[in-house]
Amino acid sequence: MDEKKYLRELAKKQMEIAALPIMGQRLKKWCALNNGERDTPMVSVEFNGPPEEVFPQLKCETQLGREVETQITRHIRNHELLADDRVIPACVSVSIPNWITPFGIDFEYTYALKADGKPSMGYTIKHVIDDLQEDFGKLKKTLFYADAGLCKAKEKQAQIEELLGGVIPVQIQFPSFYFDLGGIAFRLMGMEKMMMALYEYPELMHEMMNTVTEDMLRYMDEIESSGAIVYNNNSSWLGQGSWGYTTDLPRPGAGKAISFADVWGYTNFQETIGISPQMFNEFYFSYMEKITKRFGLLSYGCCEPVDHLWDLCLSRLTNLRKISVSPWSNEEALAEKIRGKKIVYHRKPRATFIAADTVFNEEALAEHIAKSVKAAAGCPLEVTFREELTVLGEPWRLTRAVQITREQFAKYYKP
């Protein structure tokens, strides 16, 4: 197969979709939402199950060709099947290959196998810390790399440009800077030992958290000073099934040198779900805040409930613009705390309505969404279907989920 010809035809199709008037309309709505305005609620889908259930089988044979094909075909399929509020961009994106390895430890993952012998999404981690006091010496120097001057990113950009022949622009993007201090501690020692260490070795926990925080800040300094960063107030990935569209970034008066004050950041602490707000504040939030205050805007949360952390911790995040409302959050309580603020109420519906019921229960999903929409009155509202790991052979379920959500917006949303 002539990969160049094939990919260029796909790219033409993406450009045609990107040029549709509705994409410009959606772009304005996303900017308004991420600016903290309450004009229009938005809905999107992030399918994380086996690609073959929703997306077309890849035809390219080269690694680079498959990467580009995956990106383009998913944009096209999203438009044709899901028809959510995603903006199909007039570009193919290239990420900047910055990386950090906290304490120099590459974690060993063992994946469960499916019936066909292929790896599933389930895995176990080989934790390197059994007893924090005895094993503290295993924490070595943190390693990191910043793509100075965007050299590697530009090299890949040039390769893709040659592959696509100018049919579509190729844009270097900077997905929201993600860090997970709680996740690092969890991967080091596991949930039970991490929680016990808070009681048994509080001083060592503080030392460990302070060390990884300072390492993260040095990594950020290196990214800034070496120019391994670009603005992400566009179709750049924000995490949590969302994007960075906003006119509130970069900051007013920004110079030529881009800093983290000009971009989005993202974090979550889902591994700390069993810890009290007071303990979370002492061992996690106090360190997290040193990093988050450097961002222009911040998106927070994943699968963990966050309403119980608001008063003591999260309310202090002056740059917080988007907060996750997972199925485990108290919807009404959180909405009451952020109502009237420029903070997006980012609701994640339960995945079971799509991925578990053998017969798709549209009425139950509608009731579930209606409850969320009513709770979010007075808040900028975004609904993202995430963690959908199967459609049980019925991809149209995702389409209907979007339609049902829009119906509930029309009936119940009160800005």
Instruction: Answer whether residue 279 shows pLDDT above 90.
Output: yes
> Beta strand 119-126 with 92-95: parallel, antiparallel or unpaired?
unpaired
Query: Is pTM beyond 0.75 here?
Result: yes
Which alpha helices (H) appear in 132-201, and where do they start and end? 132-135, 151-164, 181-189, 191-200
pLDDT, one tens digit per residue, over 323-354 is 999 999 999 999 999 999 999 999 999 999 99
Q: Identify the pLDDT of residue 208.
A: 98
CA angle 102, 106, 112 (to 5 degrees): 130
Q: Identify the pLDDT of residue 120.
A: 82
Instruction: Answer whether residue 103 shows pLDDT above 70.
Output: yes
pLDDT, one tens digit per residue, over 138-152 is 999 999 999 999 999
Nearest Cα to Cα of residue 189 among 149, 132, 122? 132
Residue 30 and residue 243 in contact, taking contact as beta carbons nearer than 8 Å:
yes
First to last CA, the chain: 52
Q: Identify the pLDDT of residue 20.
A: 98
pLDDT, one tens digit per residue, over 19-67 is 999 999 999 999 999 999 998 999 999 998 889 999 999 999 999 999 9
Q: Identify the pLDDT of residue 114.
A: 82
**How far, in Å, CA of 80 to CA of 73, rounded?**
10
Q: Is 384 helix (H, G, I), strand (E, B) or coil?
A: strand
pLDDT, one tens digit per residue, over 163-207 is 999 999 999 999 999 999 999 999 999 999 999 999 999 999 999
Q: Give the mean pLDDT of 389-403.
A: 95
Q: Identify the pLDDT of residue 92.
A: 98
Residue 292 CA: distances (Å) to CA of 181, 274, 296, 297, 372: 12, 22, 9, 9, 28
Q: Identify the pLDDT of residue 381.
A: 98
Instruction: Answer whether residue 254 shows pLDDT above 90.
Output: no
Q: Identify the pLDDT of residue 255.
A: 60
Q: Give the mean pLDDT of 108-132.
A: 90
Q: Identify the pLDDT of residue 135.
A: 97
Predicted confidence band of residue 251 (pLDDT cuts 50, 70, 90)? confident
Domain count, the chain: 1
Residue 301 and residue 239 in contact, taking contact as beta carbons nearer than 8 Å:
no
| Element spanning 404, H or E | helix 396-412
**How far, in Å, CA of 300 to CA of 280, rounded?**
15
Nearest Cα to Cα of residue 294 among 328, 250, 264, 334? 264
Dihedral angle computed from the Cα positions of residues 176, 50, 269 and 242, in that order, rounded to the nearest 10 degrees? 40
Range name among 221-225, 255-259, 303-307, 365-369 with the lowest pLDDT average: 255-259
Could you tell me the residue range of the domain that residue 247 belongs to? 3-412
φ/ψ region of 109 (left if φ > 0, alpha if ψ in -120 to 50, else beta) reads beta
Distance from CA of residue 172 to its chain's centroid? Answer: 18
**How far, in Å, CA of 171 to CA of 23, rounded?**
18
Q: Identify the pLDDT of residue 253.
A: 66
Q: Identify the pLDDT of residue 327.
A: 94
In sequence order, what are the beta bridge partners of 93?
Answer: 171
Question: What CATH number has the domain bearing residue 34?
Answer: 3.20.20.210
Dihedral angle computed from the Cα positions of residues 51, 53, 56 and 61, in that order, rounded to the nearest 10 degrees? 40
The 3-state DSSP composition of the chain as helix, strand, coil percent (nearest 5) reads 45, 15, 35
Q: Identify the pLDDT of residue 9.
A: 98
> Beta strand 108-113 with 344-347: parallel, antiparallel or unpaired?
unpaired
